[in-house]
Chains A and B, each alone.
Chain A
Amino acid sequence: MTAEQTVAVRLASDRDGGADPVTTEVIRYGLEAAAEQMRVSLCRSAFSPAIYDGLDFGAALYDREVRLLSQAKAMPGFLGTLGFCIEAMVGRVGGPEALREGDVVFSTYGYDIGSHQQDAVVVVPGFFEGELVGYAVIKAHHLDIGAKAPYCTDTTDIFQEGTIFPGVRIYSAGVRNEDLYRTILANSRAPEVLAGDLNAQIGSARVGLRELNRLLERFGRTRFEAAVERILDHGERVVRNFLAGVPDGRYSASGALDDNAVDPGVPVPLEVVVDVRGDEISIDLSESADQQRGPVNSPAAVSVGMVCVAVATLAGVEGGVNGGYFRPIDVKTRPGSIFEPIAPAPIFLYGWAGTYAIGLVHRALADTLPDIVPADNGFHGGMMMWGSDERDGLWLVAAMHAVGMGASARGDMTTPLLSIALSGLTTIPAEIQELTGHVVVERFELIPDTGGAGRLRGGLGVRGRYRARDPQVLMVLLERTQSPPWGLRGGGDGRPNSASVLLPDGTVQDVFKVPGMQLPAGAVAEYRSGGGGGFGPPSERDPEAVLHDVREGYVTEEAARRDYPHAFAQSEE
């Protein structure tokens, strides 16, 4: 028996069903450390920069009842979807009773995992003394899983979006199914990378379960489970305390995606109704558009997960998130709608509707929570350029930009960041883009005047200009070009996303969603990411702050004179 076991035994007595505050805290540390070790292990052994540099993954431990114990700090957009993965995938292989120690279940089926097929999920059941005690689950973005193109923006059903592995045992009782393994790899354009990333995923899940077992061995199952109850109760209390402070009522907000990516110019309306009663919240997405012909549909699991992110970010997430956070949140979706599409509706660009839903939940509550909710941000978007030649083979440059964040009662925003659903991803340095791709990055800079005016100013968007050194292909993926990021309480809107192509003959063409456009050498593609909304009336902005913004070049003098005449009135009297 270790020293800590003894202290735990002594302290346990019968209070709190064996989970005294000290043991609970030690177990909480243990669970968070376990999730962190899953993260470290995956980052260290993954092949794709998207995973180890971009942190484009989610890794978590769940208990036997599929309650989230702890989740690694990675993609917030994956937060809360991993439980759905476990339920769906375990269901596919016959339910928990059918699981054996050493099984590894693998799925790419978008409707089970709440992501596009590229975000493959591995679920490994954990056993202690022969009994099922929980699950390690890892969702990670894979470079290629056999979609019709490396990144598809114009799919019309799920079969075009990647090979479907609908929850299959890649290991049974510790033995790998070689036929299946070869089949998975045979369906990828990048089999070595897929193999490396998949094995890293499995290894990392095992690291998490090893740590879970260590905690079970040390504290015994009874005390461990009692501590878990307390930990989950704590998470639940954080959210309930927050909700209790929100005035009861029905709040709503609506917006629209530009289009569904295959029918240009036809907006897709989204509607969020938030109902707060006491310390519970119900969020209804069912009034949103019907499911779409193009790939902007959001599977129910990710719709629910994104809404949970919206609430958790308002409640304030300290340390790790656990299943308790989600208990007071009820989400309604409508089968056949964009937030609960029915297979095989296409879902490749599934993240947009969900990201928009986060913004709409915040917008719905903004008027009743003026101190907490920020104005809207520049959403997200990006471009890719690729080509191939004998020297470099296939090369690809991704140009994802950070966007302006919305101002709030807490202050101005200036520095562009990635939207909260993508938090954890990183933008790629121009020096790496120029080294690995056939482009020259002519500019990568803040765009003055893109942040919404207001008592507090919205963050700025980013202009990137990419010149093609030789003939190549351009893909553009922009959303929210027609609906600007909203300001709050009288604050101005931010400038929305836009992009254009300047051809060597001098013609300029605006572009929105382009699956593949041939660029001649010398053509320049420019993407201008959106700015954040402002907060409060511009007339209330501190004149000093206005002049500071002009001096630093965040706002041009012309715009400042238009939006903040009061700041110039005195000095010119």
Chain B
Amino acid sequence: MATRIGVDIGGTFTDLVFYDEHDGAMRVAKRPTTPKAPDVGVVEIIAEALADDAVARAAYFLHGTTVGLNALLERKGACVGLMTTKGFRDVLELRRGTRGEAMYDLHHQPRPPLVPRRLRMEIDERILADGTIEQPLDADDVARTLERLRAEGAEAIAISFLNAYAHPAHEVEAEQALRRLGFEGPITLSHRVSREMREFERTATTVVDAYVRPAVSGYLRRLDDRMRDDGFGGESLITRSGGGSMSFAEAEARPFETVMSGPVAGAVAAGDLARELGFARAITADVGGTSFDTCLLVDGRPRVRYEGAVGDLPLQTAWVDVRSIGSGGGSIAHVDDSALLRVGPASSGAVPGPVCYGRGGTRPTTTDAAAVLGMLGFGELAGGLRLDIPAARRAIDKLAAGLGLSGDEVASGVITIAGAAMAGAVRSVTIEQGEDQREAALISFGGAGPMLATIIASELDMTSIVIPRHAGNFSAWGLLGQDVTRTASASLIHPLDAAGVAAAHATLGGLRRELDERVAASGGSGDRDGTSFDVALELRYLRQLHSLTVPWPQPSPDSAAASLAEAFAAQYETTFGHALEAPVEIVAVRATLREALPEVDWGTPVRDVRAAPDRTCDAYSFSRGERVEFVVRDRAALDEQPTAGPLIVLEPTTTTYVDAGWTVRVGPRGALLIATEEDHDDR
């Protein structure tokens, strides 16, 4: 146990969760994000929400931020110079010839590369795919190139040589030469970012690292200084795209690992909750203002993948497989030119926001539809904010007039359509992993998740819903339990036989050394209790380039190849529904070093006798197809006894809508367990 502060910065809100080891108390807070100075926002929310001594008492500060991502999306990064192998200057620009989603767009062009062509330089050197040196590195060429890059104003240098994944010697030599020549700016080497083949993807990742480094590094230093000024003496950690957290120092050295971390803490925390509650399969439904994020959890673990993307930039790095679609509480409803009702993808964003927020929005959103239908109760929000329901109704009615429908018909239609889109995203994720969503629990959080949970679950024939405690701030809560994690991997193409296992084990030795060096470099927190080292092999059937990540429980040079092949076949069968009679080969070796933080005692809140008394309101029931009377109850007034819907549950950071036909009770860790009436008895 240790006192800790978690602050998660989202596009719309900054969320705080504080855990006090002293009395086991948890505190939550929410405020609008300040995009211009997010570090100031962090310090301010801490000052507003916590007692003066809280910062000094905290042992950990855990942080989720989109600073790196924003630098990338807004193209506000460093002036990077790129050194490539001779003949490959254009690797960033040539890409793979695809149009991405814009498949039929005659006018499509990818965004210009992060490094303009004049800053992309070729170095005379060549290493072949088997690691042999065909042409030694010409150090004079490096010197001449540095002159030209300096003249062009390069602040940082990315080096990505062909086949460096197989043999990194030339990248290292080039770095040494640059340092000898007095270059003091940051240098990123492709093999330190990724030891995997595919030159465009690896180079793109290398360049992203160099590009976002000043933004990430400057931000983390400013924030750390402010926290230290306020008396913080503990350890500062930031979430990684691949799950877990890393120290601020390591994030400065490997900023590319933070770029896809936005929705990760929520997914990982939902996994812990699913394990605690005994759900072998669970699906997250994280609904914020502009996006819906979903992730399949098998045995409480999200899938980690190794090739991701931000916009049209591929990232060759581990990322937790959370999928996003542009549908959230702020998605705008409109009528298209064929008189069909559409919801999204345009969003009202943080500003002006939904009509009912009264900040100048005029176009009806999903949240407005919910407000009109009474799904948000009387419209009281945290901080004394009250929704302007009549304004929302006027906006919806205007839409209704164009369709010849009533306001309630359109509002319920908007919610139904939003639910259908979200359900479609869930189905894609589950079918891809060979799972049936009907056997899973839906873990719903984010500001608008609990409002839509029963709608999404009905659409998917799911019978079990979990609304975590502090669901509106769940991502920040998730930060508190993130282990310190480091990963490394390397390509290795070899048949899965005794020699292959031995080769993989030799590769593993190198990965372990690399990880230990990184631990040491970040200030030697490596002696923490509960350190674990997990190894996996990327395996595939010979000739089938698609691979699966298969755990290698006790790696040894003498591990039985046959049992690894069996584990692969079993996982293949789960994923694809059939296994094959074909030889298996190794594609890559992956290693993860985890240092667990001290356990948090989450406790279980008891029914609060001071909770506000029940009220009732008239709201739309989707299962009944008409307005009925809903009980409006404080979350603190619920207990372990099932309460039948229709019910609206209020709490400071979110509102839970429990339709007729569902019942709700409080379960372990204070989570609300919602089940269909027929199902509740079985649980």
**Which of A233, A405, A554 is close to B117, meaning CB atoms less than 8 Å apart?**
A554
Q: Contact at B98–A424, with CB atoms within 8 Å?
A: yes
Q: Contact at B94–A416, with CB atoms within 8 Å?
A: yes
Distance in angstroms between the alpha carbons of A374 and B94 in the assembled complex: 20
Q: Contact at B87–A312, with CB atoms within 8 Å?
A: no
Is B341 an interface position by the 8 A CB rule? yes
Look across to chain A and name the residue whose beta carbon is closest to the beta carbon of B419: A4
Q: Contact at A3–B163, with CB atoms within 8 Å?
A: no
A6-B622, A415-B95, A431-B198 known; A21-B580 Cβ under 8 A: no
Nearest CB in chain A: distance from B144 CB, A = 17
List CB contacts (< 8 Å) of A97-136 with chain B.
Answer: none
Is B499 an interface position by the 8 A CB rule? no
Distance in angstroms between the alpha carbons of A342 and B326 in the assembled complex: 49
Give the chain B neighbours of A427 by CB distance below 8 A.
Answer: 94, 96-97
Question: What number of A residues sit within 8 Å (CB to CB) of B?
Answer: 90
Q: Contact at B200–A429, with CB atoms within 8 Å?
A: yes
Nearest CB in chain A: distance from B564 CB, A = 21
Is A275 an interface position by the 8 A CB rule? no
Give the chain B neighbours of A52 by CB distance below 8 A.
Answer: 545-546
Look across to chain B and name the residue whose beta carbon is closest to the beta carbon of A469: B128
Distance in angstroms between the alpha carbons of A411 and B201 in the assembled complex: 27
Give the chain B neighbours of A415 by CB distance below 8 A.
Answer: 93-95, 109-110
Instruction: Scan A5-45; emit 1 where CB is below 8 A from any B CB, else 0.
Output: 01101110001000011101110111011001100110011
Q: Contact at A21–B403, with CB atoms within 8 Å?
A: yes
Q: Contact at A76–B103, with CB atoms within 8 Å?
A: yes
Give the chain A neighbours of B32 by CB distance below 8 A.
Answer: none
Look across to chain A and name the residue whose beta carbon is closest to the beta carbon of B624: A6
* Stretch from B297-305, B382-390, B405-413 at the A interface: B405-413
Centre residue among B112, B197, B201, B340 by max chain A CB count within 10 A: B340
Is B625 an interface position by the 8 A CB rule? yes
Give the chain B neighbours of A25 by CB distance below 8 A.
Answer: 340-343, 413, 417, 420
List CB contacts (< 8 Å) of B316-354 with chain A.
Answer: 335-343
A417-B97, A427-B97 known; A33-B424 Cβ under 8 A: yes
Is B141 an interface position by the 8 A CB rule? no
Q: Contact at A47–B197, with CB atoms within 8 Å?
A: no
Distance in angstroms between the alpha carbons of A255 and B609 in the assembled complex: 84
Centre residue among A192, A193, A230 by max chain B CB count within 10 A: A192
Give the chain B neighbours of A429 by CB distance below 8 A.
Answer: 96, 197-201
* Stretch from B281-289, B465-473, B571-579 at the A interface: B571-579
List CB contacts (< 8 Å) of B67-107 with chain A.
Answer: 87-91, 93-99, 101, 103-107
**Which of B95, B405, B461 is close to A2, meaning CB atoms less than 8 Å apart?**
B461
Look across to chain A and name the residue whose beta carbon is closest to the beta carbon of B339: A21
Give the chain A neighbours of B94 by CB distance below 8 A.
Answer: 402, 415-416, 427, 444-446, 462
Is A488 an interface position by the 8 A CB rule? no
Give the chain B neighbours of A344 by CB distance below 8 A.
Answer: none
A26-B417, A413-B109, A431-B129 known; A552-B88 Cβ under 8 A: no
Q: Contact at A317–B416, with CB atoms within 8 Å?
A: no
Q: Contact at B87–A445, with CB atoms within 8 Å?
A: yes
Distance in angstroms between the alpha carbons of A400 and B97 in the assembled complex: 10
Nearest CB in chain B: distance from A105 CB, A = 22
* Stretch from B218-226, B241-249, B427-435, B516-524 at the A interface: B427-435
Is A432 an interface position by the 8 A CB rule? yes
Instruction: Scan A425-444; emit 1 where CB is below 8 A from any B CB, else 0.
Output: 11101111011000011111
Give the chain A neighbours of B409 by CB distance below 8 A.
Answer: 10-11, 20, 22
Distance in angstroms between the alpha carbons of A284 and B412 in the assembled complex: 48
Q: Contact at A411–B580, with CB atoms within 8 Å?
A: no
Look across to chain B and name the residue whose beta carbon is closest to the beta carbon of A40: B432
Is A199 an interface position by the 8 A CB rule? yes
Give the chain B neighbours of A155 by CB distance below 8 A.
Answer: none
Is B582 an interface position by the 8 A CB rule? yes
Give the chain B neighbours of A233 by CB distance below 8 A.
Answer: 338
A40-B428, A423-B98, A552-B116 known; A45-B577 Cβ under 8 A: yes
Look across to chain B and name the residue whose beta carbon is closest to the beta carbon of A553: B117
Give the chain B neighbours of A435 by CB distance below 8 A.
Answer: 129, 197, 493
Is B180 an interface position by the 8 A CB rule? no
Is A551 an interface position by the 8 A CB rule? yes
Is A234 an interface position by the 8 A CB rule? yes
Distance in angstroms between the alpha carbons of A76 and B93 in the assembled complex: 24
Nearest CB in chain A: distance from B464 CB, A = 15
Nearest CB in chain A: distance from B458 CB, A = 4
List CB contacts (< 8 Å) of B610-625 with chain A.
Answer: 622-625
Look across to chain A and name the residue whose beta carbon is closest to the beta carbon of B432: A40
Q: Contact at A553–B118, with CB atoms within 8 Å?
A: yes
A29-B424, A234-B338, A445-B88 known; A11-B413 Cβ under 8 A: yes
Is B421 an interface position by the 8 A CB rule? yes
Is A314 an interface position by the 8 A CB rule? yes
List CB contacts (< 8 Å) of B130-156 with chain A.
Answer: 134
Q: Contact at B431–A207, with CB atoms within 8 Å?
A: yes
A21-B341, A411-B109 known; A6-B98 Cβ under 8 A: no
List CB contacts (< 8 Å) of A287-325 with chain B.
Answer: 309, 312-314, 317, 321
Centre residue among B88, B129, B409, B454 by max chain A CB count within 10 A: B129
A234-B340, A431-B165 known; A22-B416 Cβ under 8 A: yes
Instruction: Scan B445-485; emit 1 where CB is below 8 A from any A CB, else 0.
Output: 00000000011001101000000000000000000000000
Give the chain B neighbours of A313 by CB distance below 8 A.
Answer: 104-106
Distance in angstroms between the alpha carbons of A15 and B404 in the assembled complex: 10
Is A260 an interface position by the 8 A CB rule? no
Look across to chain B and name the residue whose beta carbon is closest to the beta carbon of A314: B106
**Which of A9, A22, A553 is close to B341, meaning CB atoms less than 8 Å apart?**
A22
Q: 18 additional contacts, CB 8 Å, given A3-B622, A3-B623, A440-B134?
A: A3-B454, A4-B459, A25-B342, A28-B340, A37-B427, A76-B103, A410-B107, A413-B109, A414-B112, A416-B97, A417-B99, A424-B99, A429-B197, A430-B88, A430-B199, A431-B129, A431-B199, A432-B197
Would you list the 6 A-B pairs with minimal beta carbon distance, nearest first? A22-B413, A402-B97, A443-B87, A33-B424, A6-B625, A3-B622
List 12 A–B pairs whose Cβ atoms lie within 8 Å, in order of A's numbering. Answer: A6-B624, A7-B413, A20-B405, A20-B409, A234-B336, A237-B338, A415-B94, A426-B96, A431-B198, A434-B128, A446-B90, A551-B118
